[in-house]
Structure 1
Amino acid sequence: MLTPSWLDGLALGEPVSCDVLEGGYASKTFRARTSLGRSVIVKTHDDPPPGLYTLEADGLNALRVPGAFVVPEVLRVTERFLVLTDLGSSVLADQTPDFWRDAGHRLAIQHQQTADKFGYHQDNYLGVLPQRNPWTADGHAFFAEHRLLRYLEVPNCANALPAEDRTRLERLAARLRDLIPEQPAALLHGDLWHGNLLPAPALIDPAVYYGWPEAELSMLDGCGNIPEDFFTAYEEAHPLTPGWQDRLPLLHLREHLCVLAHFGPTESALTKIHDTLAPY
């Protein structure tokens, strides 16, 4: 699907080839090579939700924090496609302990950027579903309403979640203040699973907002295979309240609910939600 108009006005040469890249859900993603020997990443969607790529570009720009992760430069943004600088492979296999220590330190620096309230200056997207980010003074209320309970109104999630688990989720949301300690409203990538962390080390595909740092860590931890070196380096620069490891499964409920909302009933997500909510 090589499209010459992708590179109009960028002085990068004519597109001569492209490869399909795997890993994204909201977009079709390509690495396009040009007649001048350059390569860029192009994300496209035939019928995107309104503002999908403008909001993604905004999130990338928000993550440009000195000392934190590299993020791709936004070369061109339209309603139907986004052109970014190419930061290389997305494969994290066989990364060294030094990589993970560096990544932990960079994420800690990102999380040192804080706001007075939770949320963001605008709503954006997590996948293709709206992510609501109203400025909220109370972090527990923000997470309960806009990161947990909001998925109960999405048909895929509402239809898949058993009634007893829905009741437990509502009960958990009402008790968050007893379960999760106060945390600053830190700058979060918002969708930080392995596929959005590159070996550069760099971040892609954000769903940015200001929220609990432990919520960000819960997503990485929930994906598995994050070595202790990462968390040790993170805590050296950004100490966490003791017991944080035990709280991560609760915070990772947001991701499981988001999976249901996008894909409908999946045995893995339903089982993890049920097991996490069982004590409540």
Structure 2
Amino acid sequence: MVQCSLLKKLAKILSQARQEPIELSSGIINQGAGSQTRQLIGHTGKGQLRFLLKTTCIEKQPMLVAEANNLRQLKQTSTIRVPEVIWCGEASNEAVLLVEWLDFQSAGNWQQLAKKITELHRYPVANDTSQQPAYGWADDNYLGENLQKNGFKTRWCDFFAEQRIGVQLEQAARNNFVLGSVNLLIDQVRKKLSDHQPDISLVHGDFWSGNVGFCHKSPVIYDPACYYGDRETDFAMASLFGGFSPQFFSCCQQDWPLPAGWENRRVIYNLYHLLNHLNLFGSHWEADVHKALQQLLATTESA
């Protein structure tokens, strides 16, 4: 259960924000990705309110700060719904993120999700004054518990080879996984993507079915790892773990068709997520990574 001191601190913050007295109670929903997630029940004179609370140790506070910042920046695009950030900070020796509670339904409008994701991908980088007109993001963020480097690059092949595949390969080497020459594999990725300079799109970054929901049949995305990159990376991950309706992909293709060669690039883009899983969860993912590396080398040789 949540510490009484934390509940009192959050109740005070909410009472001040809402300008009405509020008392809080809680229960644990799940634990994972370095944090605990709980539902908070707010008791007021007018009834009950619900909130979603994430907590983790102080050392991991940058994870929650990055998540809060990404949610705020996605909300500013006015493209697709995200949970509203209510408060993020430190309380009772814990890192805390408090967001609105959303009641998700088991079914939703996949055509609407396709439309909204396309709007997100079309969001002009020029509208975001905190960013540069290049591939990357103004701040590093997190993919699970792993730091995601986002230094800006003007060439997509350099960004993905160095900031995505290279960083994960170096971490895998430190974790004693033998995957081959890091520099050679980085060069192979750069070579494979060298003739691909996609439109700069705002991407979710961790776009699997567990980070998508439907509230009153409208699509919602959450747990983002945003950056400006190739929109194909979102579709690649969406296809990696399943859970998306075929209607979603067909509607996306109809709204904004993916360019030729996307199927080969999907191998590279999903290698990033497989490497991340290897570094997060260990050897269970090693066979999948080796298979993806073999596919990468095969498609590079045939290119």
> The residue matched to 1:78 in structure 2 has which SS?
strand
- What does the per-residue CA deviation read over 1:41-81, in whole Å, with 9 as the maximum and x for residues that have no partner? 00000234353222211100111256632111111110410
Q: Could you report, residue by residue, the CA deviation over 1:222-246 in whole angstroms, capped at 9, with x for unpaired residues?
A: 0113222101221233221034244
Kindly report structure 1 stretches of 4+ aligned residues shifted beyond 3 Å. Answer: 155-158, 161-164, 166-171
The answer to whether the aligner puts 1:223 opposite 2:241 as a matched pair is yes
Aligned to 1:42, which of 53, 56, 59?
Answer: 53
TM-aligned CA distance change 1:121 to 1:34, over 3 Å? same
Structure with larger RCO (C-alpha < 8 A, sep 6+): 1
Partner residue, 1:129: 146
Are 1:219 and 1:255, in contact at CA under 8 Å, matched by a contact in 2? yes
Contact 2:135–2:155 (Cα < 8 Å) also in 1: yes
Which 5+ residue runs of structure 1 have no aligned equivalent? none
Q: Alpha-carbon deviation of 1:27?
A: 1.4
Residue 64 of structure 2 is aligned to residue 53 of structure 1: yes
Q: 148-157 or 33-42, which moves further after superposition?
A: 148-157
Instruction: Name the structure 2 match of 1:276.
Output: 292
Structure 2 distance, partners of 1:244, 1:227, is 19
Matched with 1:105 is: 115
Pair 1:173–1:64, CA change in 2 (3 A):
same
Distance 2:163 2:225 in 1: 13
Q: Are residue 141 (structure 1) and residue 158 (structure 2) matched?
A: yes
Calculate the TM-score normalised by the size of structure 2: 0.81
For 1:10-25, list aligned pairs within 5 A.
Answer: 10-11=14-15, 13-16=22-25, 18-22=26-30, 24-25=32-33
RMSD: 2.3
> Whole-Å Cα distance in 2 between the matches of residues 78 and 139 of structure 1?
34
- Report the equivalent of 1:199: 214
Match of 2:79 among 68, 72, 77: 68
Q: Report how far residue 167 of structure 1 moved.
A: 7.4
Structure 2 stretches lacking a partner, 5+ long:
126-132, 298-303
Q: What is the alpha-carbon distance in structure 2 between the residues aligned to residue 142 and residue 106 of structure 1?
A: 26
Q: Is this contact kept in 1: 2:172–2:275, CA < 8 A?
A: no
Name the counterpart of 2:205: 190
What is the CA–CA distance in structure 1 between the aligned matches of 2:265 and 2:172, rounded to whole Å?
28
Select the residue among 149, 163, 177 that pairs with 2:180: 163
- Partner of residue 6, structure 1: 10
Residue 87, structure 1, aligned to residue 95, structure 2: no
Does the residue aligned with 1:121 lie in a helix, a strand or coil? Answer: coil
Aligned equivalents of 1:24, 1:188: Cα separation in 2: 23
Q: Secondary structure at the match of 2:142?
A: strand
Question: How far does residue 260 in structure 1 lie from its aligned partner after superposition?
Answer: 1.3
CA positional deviation for 1:24 = 4.1
Deviations 1:99-127 (A, max 9, x none): 11111111111000143200011112222
TM-score (norm: length of structure 1): 0.87
Q: Verify the 8 A CA contact 2:203 2:234 in the aligned structure 1.
A: yes
How big is the shift at 1:185?
1.8
